């Protein structure tokens, strides 16, 4: 009788090296775990979206800027409009998934970092707690700031309604507009931490990030202009400044990490060479 062979996992390389197939398996496992967390978060998000006794639900909070504006202007015909029989159910599913993305953010952000860590040394993996401690609050801070900015955007857009017209806004259009902006802000605030993670994984140097500072400034203002649909340039600048500050902090952290790595490594620092200068290899 043949004895079945037991497949053993190859020992982890202390320098963080990993074959391509192991990287793909690692990616699959991390995506699966993040999907499970998203599913569980979406189940909880269903109840958060619809609310229960004593809690109005996320849906009520998202439409609150619109209703507050209507009450402020004494407009009675500003309402969300469901144009199809099953549209309310479809939006509830989408809203539950959206709530699940935010509720499960600590877990899928950790899975993102855990996918990067195999490329790190044992000493560098100790920074995982700092990565999560910075990434999760920044993501949630972006979500909170977007919600605070939302009333101004809604007031500006709805105020274009003529005096002799009614504004029955499609619920799918309004909620998609609100949810995209809030989620985009959260991801925008998360990007500087991702840059630091890529730097720790030896995929991007601090000098390379610093050289692209003009692109970072342009993308920050472009992002602020897109997600802030108002003509108020002051609001756009106020939203772009936190992003620029976070990118600056991320760049400094990457440069300090490159300096620490070059001092503790016996390998020559080729990042100091110019683009046209050949290395010793």
pLDDT, position 188:
82
Which tens digit of pLDDT belongs to each residue from 53-67?
667 788 888 888 887
Measured between alpha carbons, how far is 195 from 220 in angstroms, rounded to an integer?
15
Which tens digit of pLDDT belongs to each residue from 125-140?
666 677 778 888 888 8
Measured between alpha carbons, how far is 128 from 200 in angstroms, rounded to an integer?
11
Q: Which band of pLDDT confidence, cut at 50, 70 and 90, is reported for residue 197?
A: confident
Residues 6+ apart with CB under 8 A from 77: 166, 167, 168
Distance of CA 47 to the CA centre of its chain: 23
pLDDT, position 279:
46
pLDDT, position 71:
76
- DSSP code per residue over the chain: -PPPPPPPPPPPPTT----HHHHHHHHHHHHHHHHHHHHHHHHHHHHHHH-BTTB--HHHHHHHHHHHHHHHTT-S-EEEE--STTHHHHHHHHHHHHHHHHHTHHHHHHHHHHHHGGGS-TTGGGGHHHHHHHHHHHHHHHHHHHHHHHHHHHHHHHTTS-TT--EEEEHHHHHHHHHHHHHHHHHHHHHHHHHHHHHHTTSS-HHHHHHTHHHHHHHHHHHHHHH--SS-HHHHHHHHHHHHHHHHHHHHHHHHHHHHHHHH-SS--GGGS-TTS----
- 101: its two tokens: 């993305």
**Does the pLDDT at position 36 exceed 90?**
yes
**Does the pLDDT at position 230 exceed 80?**
no
Which tens digit of pLDDT belongs to each residue from 170-194?
888 888 888 888 888 888 888 888 8
Residue whose tokens read 């070059």: 262
pLDDT, position 265:
62
Average model confidence (pLDDT) for the chain?
77
| 75-93 average pLDDT score | 81
Measured between alpha carbons, how far is 29 from 35 in angstroms, rounded to an integer?
10
Q: Which band of pLDDT confidence, cut at 50, 70 and 90, is reported for residue 203?
A: confident
Instruction: Determine if the pTM surpasses 0.75.
Output: no
């Amino acid at each position: 009788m043949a004895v079945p062979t037991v497949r053993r996992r190859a020992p982890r390389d202390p320098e963080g090296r990993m074959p391509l197939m192991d990287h793909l398996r690692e990616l699959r496992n991390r995506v699966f775990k993040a999907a499970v967390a998203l599913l569980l978060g979406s189940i909880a998000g269903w109840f958060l979206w619809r609310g229960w006794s004593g809690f109005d639900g996320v849906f009520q909070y998202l439409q609150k800027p619109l209703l507050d504006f209507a009450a402020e202007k004494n407009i009675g015909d500003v309402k969300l409009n469901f144009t199809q029989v099953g549209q309310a159910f479809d939006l509830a599913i989408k809203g539950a998934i959206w709530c699940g993305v935010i509720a499960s953010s600590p877990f899928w952000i950790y899975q993102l970092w855990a996918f990067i860590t195999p490329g790190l040394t044992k000493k560098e993996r100790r920074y995982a707690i700092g990565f999560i401690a910075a990434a999760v609050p920044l993501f949630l801070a972006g979500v909170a700031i977007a919600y605070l900015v939302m009333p101004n955007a809604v007031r500006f857009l709805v105020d274009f309604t003529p005096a002799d017209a009614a504004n029955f806004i499609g619920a799918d259009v309004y909620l998609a507009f609100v949810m995209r902006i809030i989620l985009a802000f959260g991801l925008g605030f998360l990007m500087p931490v991702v840059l630091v993670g890529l730097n720790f994984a030896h995929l991007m140097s601090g000098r390379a990030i610093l050289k692209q500072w003009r692109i970072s400034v342009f993308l920050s203002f472009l992002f602020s202009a897109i997600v802030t649909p108002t003509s108020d340039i002051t609001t756009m600048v106020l939203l772009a400044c936190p992003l620029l500050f976070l990118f600056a902090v991320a760049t400094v952290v990457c440069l300090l990490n490159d300096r620490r790595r070059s001092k503790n490594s016996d390998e020559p620092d080729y990042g100091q060479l110019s683009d046209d200068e050949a290395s010793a290899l």
